[in-house]
Structure 1
Amino acid sequence: MADQISTDVRRSLIALATLNFFLADARDGLGPFLDGFLATHGWQPFTLGVVATVGGILGMIATPFFGALVDASDHKRTLIIIPVLLVTAMALWTLATPNNFSVFGGQSATAIVGAVIGPALMGLTLGLVGERRFTDQVSRNEFWNHAGNVFSLAAIYLGSMYFGLNGVVGLMVMTAAAAILATLAIDPRHIDNRVARGMNTHGADEGPSGFSVLTHSKGLILLALVLMIFHFGNAPISRLIAQNFSIQLGSPFRTTAITTGVSQVAMIVVALAAPRLISRFGLASIFIVGLMALPIRGAIAGSFSNFAAIYPVQILDGIGAGLIGIATPLAAERILSGTGRFNVGLGAIMTVQGIGASSSNLVAGWLTDKGGYSLAYWVHGGVAALALVLFIFGRKAIAPPLKREQAATG
């Protein structure tokens, strides 16, 4: 791609920013509000863990297949629009009738169709900007995504305060519509589908590598294992905080809006700083900082039970999850550069990390039932330290320098 961005392409990038802003609310349905909402309707922590686990398992099974679909498809906008419509419909169903059928059915369907959005968005982004601008654009995507989350949380806080459940429903419909319009505003002619799947810009006759490249890549395997352990530790903590304080304060939507909003504001700062931090200190250093944040977070959450503790706990969530969320697709793109298997590789990584996240929900629910929320925080924060150790030993394979950086220093 040329160094100068044309006016037409810039319009597509503005539409991409708008998509990320509204997709923050449209891609996950009820998202962080689900646990607080169901907890106030009598659902127990272990049952909520089962709901999250079932959805997680279905989503992780579907993700690599959807990654392969994204690699092969020239219709990446469609692979965002259809899931947004279905996820919104499932969330509205759950809100209207929060029974076993709607909750388990709706969340299962949400997990399956929602699994395509992540690979589709990353493929679309890479196809628009190319490898050279990918780091900066992923950070911009994350900035607008977290900004959209903060906007959504504030809107849900106010909407639920003044209009109750109707305010939440209205917001979900509006953000889904806005996300779809933004997707349609991206000109498909600006998406290089060859680049979007991780192929080199040269060598027009070169085809994609075989799928065996995924299983023979040491870096990809180590990255997947690190993320599996990290998400086993990280996934349940915000859910448990939402359950705990929603019950204590009796206000699921407003309580979750505050707790989640703190982490999202921290993620905005992280997204702004990430490109410079990566350029200055390298991708491996960003991984180390992100992985270190989680054990500290678990220790603070396990030591303090008052509501004020959520501020340092959720700020650390923003730092840890924010940095890991940016670093993961960048590492996958570097590892798989030139293979033509970027999206299916990213999907495979998301599947393995989903194993950690899904299994953690059952463990966290069991720990909470047995020893309270504090025990679950300590255990999950402690387990996450293993991810840091594994990364340190495998960092050269997991976060290699860009190929152009290797050529410059070679």
Structure 2
Amino acid sequence: MQGTTKGLTDRSLVALACLNFFLADARDGLGPFLDGFLATNGWSPMTLGIIATLGGVLGMIATPLFGAWVDASHRKRMLIILPVIVVTGAALWTLASPGNASVFGGQSATAVVGAVVGPALMGLTLGLVGEKRFSQQVARNEFWNHLGNVASLAAIYAATVAFGMKGVIGLMVFTAIAAVLAALAIDPKRINHDVARGLAHDRGLPGPSGYSVLLGSKGLIMLAVTLMIFHFGNAPISRLIAQDFSLQLGTPFRTTALITGISQLAIIAVALAAPSLIRRFGLASIFAIGLLALPIRGAIAGSFTDFAAIFPVQIFDGIGAGLIGIATPVAVERILSGTGRFNVGLAAVMTVQGVGASFSNIVAGSLTDIGGYGLAYWVHGGVAALAFAAFLIGRDDIAPPKKIDVGAAVGR
């Protein structure tokens, strides 16, 4: 039987955990190391902002198309495997020759193919465990993903000390191969593709609705707007911190590993606590805490220039990004339950939030050129007040306390 919770083998869940662990490094290529690496190779904050914006715009265009593809596809494992291969190749090209072609071309390819991984992984998860266990499994995914991030960061720190750039390259190849093998280890017969797209046919709800369900869902629109504002404020701060201290210390990989590792440890703690927090306080409270962490983060980053400031700054990053990252797919699944459009709905939200994240990078670059890193921290941290206000306006629609029917979801 093709199921979600019944008959689910331990092998598939273990493989899903391993996939999340190794995707931490394999899905983003150079990821947080890109800015520090290029900054120490003479690239300016403004140019780095343009690169990040270009990648964000390309990913924004590709994401909704890929979300619809994931909904329709019965080969969700391959929609993770192929991007991992392309992203790894692009990262190796950039490391070997950090010129215009490799940086712009490689990051463009990474943005486009990387846009399918998020929806594919969420669809795969929902298809394996079903809607009742989805929020718990999303938290587990986040735990393993960020544990993988910490392990990867520690390994990169050690590898650069021992082997230099060759160590980084070896680790990238290893994690890519491991991610591919983990995806292949998931039993495809255990993926319920109807449930994976949010079609809860076992509850007697209607079949897949048209794409108008996205525009007709007030909750989905309010969620997307809130996250667009949040990511406009939050997205550039870690990049700017990596650039700032990589230039000061002259060790881009080791410095970025330490900076990023702090936030990843905080996210792991958040992932462990999130399921019980959601059950006890509700989804809306989790969103509120996550949104409020950003202005505190920006104020600390803007007030202190010592390296020690990265500890509270990145801890608040872990709290905010961790809670928002877990709460978002749970909210989309609740809002669109029974429509059969979960993956395209999640992709639509990711697209809109990508607008904020993408264009914030070029704004952050401009602010840094005008008034230094401190000005950028204050401005982007202050944006959180608007995100929190947007959430308060639509909180009942964004984070419904329980499953809602299709009519409510589309405003009928």
Q: Deviations over 1:274-313 (max 9, x none)?
A: 0000000000000000000000000000000000000000
- Per the alignment, residue 291 of structure 2 pairs with 291
Does structure 1 conserve the Cα–Cα contact (< 8 Å) formed by 2:205 and 2:338? Answer: no
Counting only pairs closer than 5 Å after superposition, residues 121-200 of structure 1 correspond to structure 2 as 121-200=121-200
Does structure 1 conserve the Cα–Cα contact (< 8 Å) formed by 2:27 and 2:84? Answer: yes
- Per the alignment, residue 253 of structure 1 pairs with 253
Write the distance in 2 (CA, Å) between the matches of 1:79 and 1:149: 21
- Per the alignment, residue 408 of structure 1 pairs with none
Give the aligned residue type for 1:241.
I
Moved over 6 A (4+): 1-4
Aligned to 1:403, the other structure's residue is in SS state coil
Within the alignment, does 1:381 sit opposite 2:381 as a pair? yes
- Per the alignment, residue 321 of structure 1 pairs with 321
Write the distance in 1 (CA, Å) between the matches of 2:344 and 2:179: 24
Counting only pairs closer than 5 Å after superposition, residues 264-283 of structure 1 correspond to structure 2 as 264-283=264-283
- Per the alignment, residue 369 of structure 2 pairs with 369
Please provide the CA RMSD for this pair: 1.4
- Per the alignment, residue 20 of structure 1 pairs with 20
Q: Per-residue deviation at 1:385? A: 1.3
- Per the alignment, residue 225 of structure 1 pairs with 225
Does structure 1 conserve the Cα–Cα contact (< 8 Å) formed by 2:4 and 2:128? Answer: no
Q: Deviations over 1:25-50 (max 9, x none)?
A: 00000000000000000000000000
Does structure 1 conserve the Cα–Cα contact (< 8 Å) formed by 2:299 and 2:378? Answer: yes
Q: For structure 1, which segment, 8-17 or 23-32, has the greater mean C-alpha deviation from structure 2 after superposition? A: 8-17
Aligned to 2:316, the other structure's residue is in SS state helix
Aligned to 2:391, the other structure's residue is in SS state helix
Does structure 1 conserve the Cα–Cα contact (< 8 Å) formed by 2:4 and 2:190? Answer: no
Q: Per-residue deviation at 1:129? A: 0.2
Aligned to 1:208, the other structure's residue is in SS state coil
Write the distance in 1 (CA, Å) between the matches of 2:60 and 2:334: 23
Q: Deviations over 1:148-200 (max 9, x none)?
A: 00000000000011100000000000000000000000000000000000001
Aligned to 2:9, the other structure's residue is in SS state helix
- Per the alignment, residue 349 of structure 1 pairs with 349
Q: Per-residue deviation at 1:201? A: 3.4
Write the distance in 1 (CA, Å) between the matches of 2:60 and 2:290: 23
Write the distance in 2 (CA, Å) between the matches of 1:361 and 1:229: 13
Q: Per-residue deviation at 1:403? A: 2.1
Give the aligned residue type for 1:102.
S
- Per the alignment, residue 85 of structure 2 pairs with 85
Write the distance in 2 (CA, Å) between the matches of 1:169 and 1:396: 47
Write the distance in 2 (CA, Å) between the matches of 1:259 and 1:45: 18
Write the distance in 2 (CA, Å) between the matches of 1:78 and 1:171: 22
Give the aligned residue type for 2:170.
G
Q: Gaps (5+ residues) in structure 2?
A: 406-412
So what's the TM-score if we normalise by structure 1?
Answer: 0.97
Q: Deviations over 1:14-71 (max 9, x none)?
A: 1000000000000000000000000000000000000000000000100000000000
Aligned to 2:29, the other structure's residue is in SS state coil
Q: Per-residue deviation at 1:202? A: 1.9
Write the distance in 2 (CA, Å) between the matches of 1:346 and 1:205: 20
Residues matched between the structures, number: 404
Q: Per-residue deviation at 1:2? A: 8.0
Change (3 A) 1:2 1:52: closer
Within the alignment, does 1:61 sit opposite 2:52 as a pair? no
- Per the alignment, residue 409 of structure 2 pairs with none
Q: For structure 1, which segment, 232-241 or 201-210, has the greater mean C-alpha deviation from structure 2 after superposition? A: 201-210
- Per the alignment, residue 392 of structure 2 pairs with 392
Aligned to 2:305, the other structure's residue is in SS state coil
- Per the alignment, residue 33 of structure 1 pairs with 33
- Per the alignment, residue 334 of structure 1 pairs with 334
Q: Percent identity?
A: 73
Give the aligned residue type for 1:28.
D
Q: Gaps (5+ residues) in structure 1?
A: 406-410
Give the aligned residue type for 2:234.
N
Write the distance in 2 (CA, Å) between the matches of 1:301 and 1:34: 21
Write the distance in 1 (CA, Å) between the matches of 2:192 and 2:67: 17
So what's the TM-score if we normalise by structure 2?
Answer: 0.96
